[in-house]
Structure 1
Amino acid sequence: MKKILTLLTFGVLCGCTPQNTSSTLALTPVGYESLAGWGQEDFTSLMPLLRSDCRRLSQLPPETVLGGSESIPYGRHVSDWSNACAALASATDGRTYLETWFQPYQATDDAFYTGYFEPQIAASLTRGGEYQVPVYGRPRNLVRAKATNGQMVNGRWVNGQFAPYYDRAAIDGGALDGQGLEIAWLKSPVDLFFLQIQGSGRLILPDGGQVRVSYDGRNGQAYVPLGRVLVQDGELPADGVSMDSIRNWLEAHPDRMMSVMERNPNYVFFRRDDGDLAQGPKGAFGMPLTAGRSVAVDRSMVPFAMPLWVETKLPYGAAQPVSWDHLVFAQDIGTDIKGAGRADLFTGWGATAQSVAGNLHAHGRMILFLPRQPADSPPGSGAQ
């Protein structure tokens, strides 16, 4: 899903900087007895997820770097997982398996958690009636090239010169007209804006059918948080920025909504995704995301496939946030997820998922589960 790049999170919407954005990861080993709610976890449901992670790892060369800070002693390379994944083949009890083959390390007791979800949006595959807002596929002239600083950037070739790609205002103004790039049509430019923030979504067609569209590139322009714009303009209070407050403001100001949205020049393109709609969209690790079990992380801090124990609070409706202590898996990334102790929880799709994701901005504790190596596996683990 992320290659997703821009998330519907508190940080992306308001441009806020969470307290814990450290660029270093200091790990402290802890015991399982210190994990709040560990004994109440649903270990049976974790086994298929662990096996899916191992299947994905088996598809990669052993030397593949999964990411992660250099302070992580093991788990950064596919080969580091070989023993734990081999033991999983004969494991029957999830709790015993995890306690045998993973060592918990506290990353921080001041992690910052946000959420993202897969929106459901009314759409049509043909233009007509109220469906007048195009969802564009990736333009053929959008290319990547190496900048003078060595980084890869998106842009286009103009008379032999590499130039920035069209920004949001230019695209809204018709820069892509006539190229046949439209893959669907929406009712509202606000719906398109929030679809682009999420990077993936389910289009609900007039006949009740569903089609998923997934991220397929961006124009390369900088992302400007709309919440920050509205706070700077005095339209929203700094403590009143949320998905709902931004959407409500845009819909209440139809004469200004386009000009405000165009102050974020970033633009996302999509492709039709015929994957299984019973599952979530694929994350950057190449696996379908699982609601309440998949998180986006800063890959320079936390490797793909890494299990994380999360202790935080989730908002459900109008009630006070409730404690939420569960094991999740690093399977996605996001532009705004930077630094140690940052994670974005995939909440699924539907009204509840949208509400939780839009209101989740909570601190908590983060524990990394590093796969043990044979030399430090507990007695009786069967390590050779």
Structure 2
Amino acid sequence: MRAALAAAMLAVVMTTAPSHAEILTFAELDGWAADDHRAALSSFRETCGLLEDADWVPLCRLAEDAGDSAAGARQFFELFFRPVVIGTPPALFTGYYEPELEGSPVRTPRFAWPIYRRPPELREGQVYHTRAEIERGVLRGRGLELAWLDDPVDVYFLQVQGSGRIRMPDGRVMRVGYAGRNGHAYRSVGQEMVRRGTHTLDQVSAQEIAAHVRNQAGTELLNINPSYVFFRTVDEVPPEKGPIGAMGRSITAFRSVAIDPDFTPLGAPVWVEKDGAEPIRSLMVAQDTGGAIKGAQRADIFYGTGRAAGDAAGTVKDGGRMVVLLPIDRAYAMLPDGL
């Protein structure tokens, strides 16, 4: 699900003109004063140096000089940015995480479902074999298997999350990350369950999809999504840091979001006002993307690593409001009259 960052995205140019943009004051952001702006600034610094657009380069230099005090971090954002609502709320917030799974480097009776390396002939943007064709063995016997898991549903959700940690029988942990996809558009299994009448929209969650596939529908249901993700081993990230996001840097639990780069610039701070049973009012950074993350008011919040993070992330499907912090000149340029 997590896509690699294209070179054009580093210029943080939105390719789709928003139908609506409104500039707010920081006082209009619900909970702004109570947030930990130091944590947000730390996450912003993680990827800011990658931004090459003229609006961002000087801000990234200033971010390094902002200090580490709560007052200094908050002042940095308030001085050099303006909050912009792009599109029309309500937003849709979901959650994702980095799974921790059991696996094997070789096929065994228990570990019989592979995750694959990217085939060498696959080029970026090329339309390749579908999920169904790959699951039925079209790549078998080519030595592309990176690891083997004990559950085909875990294979599917590892692809949805785009990264994970696999514990081998000898205790060694293999970390894997996104290496490419087969060029087919993502199709929601949850929406297909609603279409078939087995579930209502409010019943659909990652946990419910997994249970329904395992107990009733079978893995063929997963093949309605033709998109397929390939992996690589990730050795360059320390175990205590989060997985690699679309910008090629580690992402941070509850400080990184996946967004649609057609509307929200990668690397931009994003103020999240997520409603629901567990509301969030927090400044995060747009550091990832996803095949199912489409639209101006759409974000996927990174919840962290492991089962507890997965349990929390899998049930998130909440409304609210998403506000992008943009450099001042860029923010005002988004208004219809440019003023």
Q: Verify the 8 A CA contact 1:4 1:199 in the aligned structure 2.
A: no
- Do the aligned partners of residues 123 and 219 (structure 1) sit closer, same or farther apart at CA in structure 2, a change above 3 Å counting? same
Moved more, 206-215 or 295-304: 206-215
Which residue is equivalent to 1:27? 21
* Equivalenced residues, count: 315
Q: Does 1:236 align with 2:236?
A: no
Offset from partner CA, 1:331-378 (integer Å, 9 cap, x none): 11112222211111111112232122211111112222112359x9xx
Which residue is equivalent to 2:84? 105
Q: Counterparts in 2 of 1:111-130, with a 5 A limit?
A: 111-130=91-110
Structure 2: distance between partners of 1:168 and 1:88: 43
SS in 2 for 1:359: coil
- TM-score when scaled to structure 1? 0.76
Q: Verify the 8 A CA contact 2:4 2:247 in the aligned structure 1.
A: no
Structure 2: distance between partners of 1:223 and 1:178: 26
- Do the aligned partners of residues 264 and 35 (structure 1) sit closer, same or farther apart at CA in structure 2, a change above 3 Å counting? closer
Q: Does 1:192 align with 2:181?
A: no
Q: Does 1:305 align with 2:267?
A: yes
What one-letter code is carried by the residue in structure 2 that aligns with 1:268? V
Which residue is equivalent to 1:283? 245
List gaps (5 residues or longer) in structure 1: 6-21, 63-77, 145-152, 156-164, 315-320, 377-384
Which residue is equivalent to 1:14? none
Which residue is equivalent to 2:65? 90
SS in 2 for 1:79: coil
SS in 2 for 1:232: helix
Which residue is equivalent to 1:169? 132
Which residue is equivalent to 1:3? 3
What one-letter code is carried by the residue in structure 1 that aligns with 2:165? R
Pairwise CA distance, 1:247? 0.8
Offset from partner CA, 1:35-88 (integer Å, 9 cap, x none): 22112111232332232233233xxxx4xxxxxxxxxxxxxxx21023322323
Structure 2: distance between partners of 1:86 and 1:234: 54
Offset from partner CA, 1:126-152 (integer Å, 9 cap, x none): 2223111111111223235xxxxxxxx
Offset from partner CA, 1:73-115 (integer Å, 9 cap, x none): xxxxx21023322323332211122211222223344222111
Structure 1: distance between partners of 2:191 and 2:324: 32
CA RMSD of aligned residues (A): 2.4
Which residue is equivalent to 2:49? 55
**Superposed structure 1 runs of 4+ greater than 4 Å apart:** none
List gaps (5 residues or longer) in structure 2: 6-15, 333-339
Which residue is equivalent to 1:38? 32
Structure 1: distance between partners of 2:247 and 2:45: 15
- 1:219 aligned to which of 175, 182, 188: 182
SS in 1 for 2:275: strand
What one-letter code is carried by the residue in structure 1 that aligns with 2:180? G
What one-letter code is carried by the residue in structure 2 that aligns with 1:135? I
